[in-house]
C-alpha cells in the first residue's frame, strides 16, 4: 500500500451565516481519514464565491499518484467494511442524517457560498441530499436477495456483493446533493469510495467527509482526491477502481464512459441537458407561469433539470405574458444567485447576443443585471421567436434563459423536442389528460413532468435521463443505484443426495 502523506486536523465548521463574504480552509485530499497535501502535483487554484467573484478558498489539485494512494487505502478499508452487516453500515447513514439535520444551516451556507445559489436553494439541495441518505438507510429493508428451491433439494439464492473500490466524479452545480446520489448506495452496498468533486466546489464535500467520520464511517472507506481531468483519467485507468459514477457535461460524460469502459469498468455517466416545456392553450395560467419561471430561473438556470426551451403551441400569449411579468419581478441577489464564473456569464450572454442578431426578440433581458457585491450575474432572460436552427434552441446554455419557439400544433412541438440529442427532462402544461398522455408516450426524455417544471423523481424513484444525457444503463439513484454499485452472486446449493436425480443433482 502507498503511504499517505502528512496530515492535519479536521477543517471544522464553516462560519458563514449570511451572504457576507467569508473565507474557508484550503481543500486538500482526504485519504485514510486524514487531510493531506497532494504527493507531487503542485497546482493550486482559487475556489471563487461567485456572488463576489473573490476566492473563498484554494484547492490543491491531486494527481495520478494521489489516486493510487486513495485507491490502495480504499481497497484496504473495503476488506473490513464489506464484512460489516448491511444494517451496521446503514446505521452510519442514520447518524449522518442526524448530523446533517443538526448542521443544516452551516451546510447550506457553505453550499451557497461556494456555488452561488441563494440560501433557500442551497437548503433545498441539502434537504434533497438528506433524502438520498434516507434511501440509503432503508436499504437493509430492500436489499434482501431472492431464494428459491429450483428443483427438489436444490436451492438458488441471489445476494448482492460489493464491487470493492468504486469512484464518483461530480459537477459544480450541486456540491453536496450529487455526491449523495452515489455515496449512500455505494457505501451501504459495502464498497469503499474515491470521490473527485468539482474543483470549483470542493468545500461542501470536505464537511460531508468530516460528518461521515463523526457518524462512524471507518477511515479509508471514503476518500477524496481533489483536482480535474488528470484525476478523473487516473480513476478511469486505475486497476483497483471497479466502477465509476459520473455527473457533468455530455462531452466529458461520453469521454469518461468510453475510457472507463475500455478498461472493463462499470460506468454510469450522466451528461448535459436541453429541457423542453410544451405549453398548450388550456394550461392553467397561474400554475404554469409560476412553474415555468421557477424552472428556468431556479439556481440561476444551472440545473440539469432546468427549462431551456418553451414550445408555445398555438395561441398562448396570455401565458407567456404572465411568465414574463413574473420573471421580471425576480430580485437579483435575493431570489436569484449568480452564475458560476465570468466564463459562464460570457457564454450565456453570448448566446443571447447571437439570438438577437439572428432575429429573435429579447422580451426580458438579463444581460445588464448586476449586484453591488461584484460577481457573475445574469438576470432572467426570455428570448421569443427562436427558430430551431439558432444556437439558443440547440445548445445547453446553463443559465437563466428561456427560449420560446412558436409551433402550430402538438405534433410539431414533439418533432422539434425529439430532434434534440439530449433526453434529460421534459414537461407539458395542460389541463387535458389526453394531451398529457400523448406527450408522455412519445417524448424522448427519461424524466417527464405533467404541470411540473422540474420533474425530479424523488426517492425512491431513480434519477437518470436518456440519449446524450446518460451513458450507461439505468439510473444513478434509487434501487438502480444499489444495483449499479453491487454485483449479484448466485449461489446454487444442495445438502443431500436426491433420489429423483436430475442434471443438477
- Catalytic residues, by residue number, are 304
Which distant-in-sequence residues (6+ apart) come within 8 Å of 488 by Cβ?
145, 158, 159, 160, 161
Q: Measured in whole angstroms, how far is the alpha carbon of residue 79 from the centre of its chain?
A: 28
Choice from 186, 299, 304, 310 touching ligand NAD (CB under 6 A): 304
Q: Is 357 exposed, middle or buried (0-12, 13-18, 19+ CB in 10 A)?
A: exposed
Least distance in angstroms from the C-beta of 387 to ligand NAD = 23
Q: Which one, 243 or 312, has the nearer CB to ligand NAD?
A: 243
In this complex, which beta carbon is closest to ligand NAD, that of residue 107 or of residue 454? 454
- Contacting residue, 173, 185, 295, 349, with ligand NAD by CB under 6 A: 173
| Count of positions (residues) in the chain | 505
Does residue 121 bind ligand NAD (CB under 6 A)?
A: no
Among 398, 429, 471, 484, binds ligand NAD (CB under 6 A): 398
Say whether residue 198 binds ligand NAD (CB under 6 A).
yes
Quote the least distance from Cβ 450 to ligand NAD, whole Å.
20
In 187-272, DSSP assigns E strands to 192-196, 222-224, 241-247, 266-270
Q: DSSP label at 267?
A: E
271 binds ligand NAD (CB under 6 A): yes
By the rule CB under 6 A, 273 interacts with ligand NAD: yes
For ligand NAD, the closer of residues 26 and 173 by Cβ is 173
Burial class (CB in 10 A: 0-12, 13-18, 19+), 151: middle
Which residue, 62 or 136, is less far from ligand NAD as judged by CB?
62
Contact 227, 255 (CB under 8 A): no
Take residue 390 and report the three cell numbers written for it: 439558432
Residue 247 binds ligand NAD, judged by CB under 6 A? yes
Burial class (CB within 10 angstroms; exposed 0-12, middle 13-18, buried 19+) of 92? buried
Instruction: Please state, in angstroms and rounded to a whole number, the distance separating the CA atoms of residues 415 and 442.
Output: 10
Given the complex with ligand NAD, which of 125 and 396 has the nearer CB atom?
396
Rounded to a whole number of angstroms, the minimum distance from the CB of residue 119 to ligand NAD is 20
Question: Phi/psi of residue 169, each to 5°?
Answer: -125, 130
Q: Examine residue 43 and tell whether it contacts ligand NAD (CB under 6 A).
A: no
Q: Tell me: cis bond preceding 460? Omega within 30 of 0 counts.
A: yes
Residue 205 makes contact with ligand NAD by CB under 6 A? no
CB of 53 to ligand NAD, least distance (A): 17
Stretch that binds ligand NAD, among 101-109, 195-203, 328-336, 348-356 (CB under 6 A): 195-203
* Nearest approach, Cβ of residue 172 and ligand NAD (Å): 4
Q: Does the protein bind ligand NAD through residue 229 (CB under 6 A)?
A: yes
- DSSP bridge pairs for 438: none
**Stretches 18-26, 71-79, 99-107, 245-253: which one binds ligand NAD (CB under 6 A)?**
245-253
CA 42 – CA 415 distance, rounded (Å): 50
Q: Report how far residue 349's alpha carbon sits from residue 413's, in angstroms, rounded to the nearest whole number.
A: 26
Chain positions contacting ligand NAD, by CB under 6 A = 169-173, 178, 196, 198-199, 228-229, 232, 247-249, 252, 255-256, 270-273, 304, 396, 398, 424, 465, 469
Amino acid at each position: 500500500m502507498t503511504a499517505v502523506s502528512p496530515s492535519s486536523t479536521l477543517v471544522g465548521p464553516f462560519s458563514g451565516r449570511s451572504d457576507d463574504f467569508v473565507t474557508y480552509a484550503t481543500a486538500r485530499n482526504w485519504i485514510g481519514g486524514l487531510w493531506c497535501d497532494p504527493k507531487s502535483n503542485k497546482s493550486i487554484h482559487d475556489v471563487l464565491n461567485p456572488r463576489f467573484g473573490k476566492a473563498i478558498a484554494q484547492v490543491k489539485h491531486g494527481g495520478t499518484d494521489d489516486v493510487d494512494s486513495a485507491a490502495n487505502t480504499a481497497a484496504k478499508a473495503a476488506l473490513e467494511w464489506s464484512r460489516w452487516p448491511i444494517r451496521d453500515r446503514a446505521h452510519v447513514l442514520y447518524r449522518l442524517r442526524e448530523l446533517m439535520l443538526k448542521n443544516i444551516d452551516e451546510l447550506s451556507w457553505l453550499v451557497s457560498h461556494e456555488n452561488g445559489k441563494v440560501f433557500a436553494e442551497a437548503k433545498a439541495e441539502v434537504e434533497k441530499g438528506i433524502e438520498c441518505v434516507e434511501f440509503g438507510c432503508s436499504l437493509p429493508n430492500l436489499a434482501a436477495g431472492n431464494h428459491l428451491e429450483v428443483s427438489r433439494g436444490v436451492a438458488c439464492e441471489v445476494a448482492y456483493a460489493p464491487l470493492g473500490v468504486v469512484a464518483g466524479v461530480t459537477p459544480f452545480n450541486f456540491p453536496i446533493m450529487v455526491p449523495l446520489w452515489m455515496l449512500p448506495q455505494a457505501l451501504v452496498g459495502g464498497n469503499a469510495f474515491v470521490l473527485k468533486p468539482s474543483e470549483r466546489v470542493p468545500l461542501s464535500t470536505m464537511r460531508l467527509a468530516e460528518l461521515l467520520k463523526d457518524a462512524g464511517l471507518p477511515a479509508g472507506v471514503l476518500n477524496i482526491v481533489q483536482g480535474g481531468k488528470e484525476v478523473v483519467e487516473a480513476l478511469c485507468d486505475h486497476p483497483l477502481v471497479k466502477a465509476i459514477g459520473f455527473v457533468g457535461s455530455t462531452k466529458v460524460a461520453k469521454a469518461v464512459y468510453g475510457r472507463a469502459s475500455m478498461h472493463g469498468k462499470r460506468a454510469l455517466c450522466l451528461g448535459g441537458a436541453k429541457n423542453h416545456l410544451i405549453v398548450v392553450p388550456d394550461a392553467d395560467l397561474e400554475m404554469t407561469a409560476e412553474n415555468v419561471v421557477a424552472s428556468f430561473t431556479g439556481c440561476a438556470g444551472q440545473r440539469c433539470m432546468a427549462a431551456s426551451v418553451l414550445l408555445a403551441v398555438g395561441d398562448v400569449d396570455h401565458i407567456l405574458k404572465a411568465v414574463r411579468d413574473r420573471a421580471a419581478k425576480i430580485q437579483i441577489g435575493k431570489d436569484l444567485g449568480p452564475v458560476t464564473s465570468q466564463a459562464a456569464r460570457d457564454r450565456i450572454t453570448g448566446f443571447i447576443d447571437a439570438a438577437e442578431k439572428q432575429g429573435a426578440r429579447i422580451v426580458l433581458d438579463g444581460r445588464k443585471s448586476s449586484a453591488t457585491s461584484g460577481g457573475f450575474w445574469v438576470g432572467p432572460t426570455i428570448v421569443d421567436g427562436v427558430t430551431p436552427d439558432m444556437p439558443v434552441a440547440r445548445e445547453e446554455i446553463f443559465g437563466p434563459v428561456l427560449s420560446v419557439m412558436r409551433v402550430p400544433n402538438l405534433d410539431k412541438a414533439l418533432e422539434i423536442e425529439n430532434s434534440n440529442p439530449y433526453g434529460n427532462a421534459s414537461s407539458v402544461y395542460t389541463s387535458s389528460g389526453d394531451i398529457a398522455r400523448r406527450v408522455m408516450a412519445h417524448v424522448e426524455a427519461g424524466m417527464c413532468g405533467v404541470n411540473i417544471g422540474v420533474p425530479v423523481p424523488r426517492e425512491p424513484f431513480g434519477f437518470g435521463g436518456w440519449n446524450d444525457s446518460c451513458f450507461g444503463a439505468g439510473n444513478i439513484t434509487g434501487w438502480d443505484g444499489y444495483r449499479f454499485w453491487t454485483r449479484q452472486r448466485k449461489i446454487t446449493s444442495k445438502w443431500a443426495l436426491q433420489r429423483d436425480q436430475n442434471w443438477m443433482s
